[in-house]
Amino acid sequence: MKHVISIDDFNIQQLERLFRLTDQIRQSPEQYASSLAGKVIATLFYEPSTRTRLSFEAAIQRLGGKVISTENARELSSAVKGERLEDTIRVVEGYSDAIVLRHYEDQAAEIAAEVAQVPVINAGSGAKEHPTQALLDLYTIYSIKGKIDGLTYVVSGDLRYGRTVHSLVKKLAHYSNVRIYGLSRPELALPQEYVEYLKQRGVSYSSCISFDDVPSTVDVIYHTRTQLERMGTNGKEIAEIIIDQQVMNRFGENTILMHPLPRNQEIAMEVDEDQRAVYFQQSRNGMYVRMALLHTLFER
């Protein structure tokens, strides 16, 4: 595995190995403290980020590597002078052993991988994909439920622009006996290409507009915020789908609530006290999953 561009870069067996390694790293982090010794990793972020950037940088340092970073390359790099992404990648790879890239354009990760001689890890490309978020999302489900197969999922909120949802449903489609409900405002429905992908994989997908349309026995609710930064002023006219304690009360004790974060008002803070709300645990898992990913990339 040279680059990590899409969740499609991983098959189920590779995911299972990655999750087992993540468990080992969580249990015995000291055994991996020199995995990246002598390595320099560049984190090149053209969009704002807290969890993804900091968890990658923490993962690198906990593995014994070093970080060079720019957190707002769109405004604080030579991009403001008109430098093409290809040129930036060719320059940065001369300073580093791998590049973690977040970019506002959908095809940025593919463009970077075409010219890079070092591994490129897609940390979010436009509205298209966010593969390492999907890795930690799947790991969180696996670690809590003990499996990913045979579960019923709700993906809710912004399904049109939410790249985390896109990566997640693409990989859920490779598991057996999975049922997915897509709950959104009509303007933010899951793009047809993903609906068709699920259909081709034989996954049952139901589009709905209310939690009343969703069985109370669902295993996982994956809620997302409206991606206003990709929608301009039109997004402000779309009413947010809110999960509060009243909504949570209609689901069983085994339903877990996930969110890739950051959140705005789409999950009420009162829900934080509900034991089924696992989004902060999900966020913490990100560092360990990314440690496992980086260790695997450089494993000799």
- Per the CB < 8 A criterion, the answer to whether 175 and 13 are in contact is no
Look-up: residue for tokens 């405004």? 75
Element (H, E) at 103: strand 98-103
Phi then psi dihedrals of residue 45, to 5 deg: -115, 115
- Alpha carbons within 13 angstroms on the beta-carbon side of residue 43 total 27
**Tokens for 210?**
């209310």
Residues 6+ apart with CB under 8 A from 282: 136, 137, 140, 258, 259, 260, 261
Residues across the chain:
300
- The count of other CB atoms within 10 Å of the CB of residue 228 is 15
251 vs 217: CA distance, rounded Å:
6
Known catalytic residues? 51-52, 81, 102, 130
